[in-house]
Structure 1
Amino acid sequence: MALGIGTETDVYFFALSFCLFATGILENTIHANAVTVFASAQRFGPDRLKSAVWRVVVGSTSAAALGFGVLAMIGTFAIESNDDWSSHTQHIGVVTLWIFSATVVASAASSVYAATLYSVGAFFTAPATVAFRSIGALASLPVTRGTELALPGLAIGLAVGETVRVSLLRRAVIRELKPVTKHGAPPEGSVPSLIKPSMPYALSISFSQATPVVDRAIGSSLGPGTVTTIDLSEKVFFVPMTVMWSSIVVVSGARWSHLAATERRDLLVADFRQTIRRSLWLSSAIAAGMGACLVAATAVIGPTFAGMDATRILWVSLILLAGLPPAAVAALAGRYLSAARRTTSLPLFSATALAMSTSTSIVGAHYVGIFGIVLAATATRWTMAAAFYAKCVSGGVAPTEPRIVTK
């Protein structure tokens, strides 16, 4: 089959949204909360840290397998219930959806190993190995392009790439943990629980990650190619967001976890405020720069490219890029609250954002089509970023410190 915009690419990206929904929950929750746990575990010696890592790997992969199994059944029902897709298209979507389960489980393991590296101050390997996902998917194209296996082949390649990443990260963790070994008896004490702060954080991320799925569900009723256009435009948005997440958010989150573990609250709050200011300036500059590049690229290639409406993709991308600064603020605020182990209010914020985004997307899609959907998403990001920031600076984020008993 030819890989162009149509119903088959729509169903592929619809299935992919379920995978991204699950991996988004896992990666955000594990990165935000496990770093704090591992940072505390380091203080009790290397054996305690290794034990904590192994427990989280087993628990996370098990939860990922069970959770995505339920999610895939819901996705299967949604695909088979869409009358706009032929039975052949539906079959491709269902098969692809279940192949993505391997990616989700592997992503859970890689997230734990990445969090371990962040906790010991190693920030390069985890972001660098993300490229293996795309490498695996692209490697499948020469083999499957032009066949019925083209889209499922992309899913298989993605799973293989993530599995390779797990192996690389595990080796990096083993290498980084060796210098952690200390002489003498380590202090005794309890490592903070991962479950308690993770549950509300995971619920919050679930609401947040549901928004793209809802957007695609609404967009699927607007004609062929709408879901694909939304997905391609969101890829443009997530390029700078991923860069910021892999640098500023990850590094700041690890630093805040260590500050929270030592109850250095004044430094924690001051560092958060400074990071937010700098991130707003940086994300605004990046959004403006990328927007200018997109305008220039569209002027060169013309209104259509490879059968796609380049002009429509341009405008959708520009609207989404306007939401980059608040998205950066929200990501940093969530990581800050997690480091301070004050995540109980996060589900309420995210549920409100989902309700706001869904209702305004439905209304917007009715009046201005696809542009109404992305305008709703951007407006929601700005509104919720302000709410998250207000929560962080309200003073209700005092960290808790596990008791350490020195022999």
Structure 2
Amino acid sequence: MSDEELIIEEDIESVSPQANDAKARARAKSIVSKAILSSAQPLEFREQKDRMLIGIWYAAMNTLIECMQVEDVLLVLAAKMHQITGTGDNALSPPRTISEKAMQSYIDSVVEAGMTIIECLEKAQEQLEEEELDELFPETVLDAATVVLQKAWGPDHLRRAIQEQTALLVRGVIQPSNFMEPLKYMTPATPSTAKAEPVEDAVPVHDVSEVPAKPTHVIEYVDPSPIVIKRRQINERTVTAYIANDVSSKGLNGWACWVSSSGNDRMEETLHCGTVQDQSGHSGWVQALHECLSVICANTMSARGQIELYSKDFMRAIEGQPGMRMPHHEELWKEIDAAIEHNNIDFKCSAFTLTKNYAERCDMKIRILLSGE
């Protein structure tokens, strides 16, 4: 081999690892960016699209926390902080403020949107695993997320988001921070001055017109245990549901249940309702829960998820506390208990609210049912 050939071969060997690394990162970013882009449709379907940007931030932070050690997360965030330079035309915009009364509903909606985006990212992670690029997954999610968020929030507020998250982790609170978006978004670049990436174009810059009270606490998980990104085995169906009930002055129960489910690359959302005569209101709750579980468990081997309601008494009935179940509902309760036993269904009792889209839809349907008695 000539000296010239030897030099060329040495150059190739010295450059190839870097070139391959850049190619691998570009490939990983493409897969993750498409996953974030694909979340637009399920977010719209679940009426969560107005939480897309903050949901992306939640999903990115959750991914880092679940896939990396806290020390490594801090290093990654510090490196990203140095990459975000300059200032935006919304630098002086104050953070959005939300009243204490509305805060928990806001947090719940952010978590729901974040979980929807996480579902899409899980598919990206599986593809990266198949291509042996999964070690790039967490940092690539952060990279793709910050590309989108910097265009909307601007560099100043994106740095603020990273600072708040870093401070939270340093204090030992290992959760995504409850970041408040700027009231004013960056002025969108004109087509002639910007080359927008696909994911950026897909993200809506929604109208931000909510009102006052800056929080210092963090987002609470819907479940007591953290959301885990890495899923080797999954149930056939994942569900989120809500049931509501009301009684008219004449003793007519109007009930409604909203169910959002996904599985085998199929997503659907349904709302069911009905009436039953019972002045106590108990029959309406039982009918609603029975219908809800029938929908959840239909045509599937197993399901996991959460059903939300707002009656503490009915929550006690679900738990099987003495005296909380009526004898004439015995057969319905047998079927309800069997469905709960054979599936991984949790229940959450929340205060009554109409700030959530699904709660408002159920309440509206109940109002219509009761107005026609």
Q: Which has the higher strand share?
A: 2
Please report the TM-score for the alignment, with normalisation by the length of structure 2.
0.29
Asked which structure has the greater RCO (Cα within 8 Å, sep 6+), the reply is: 1
Please report the TM-score for the alignment, with normalisation by the length of structure 1.
0.27
Q: Which has the higher helix share?
A: 1
Higher Cα radius of gyration: 2
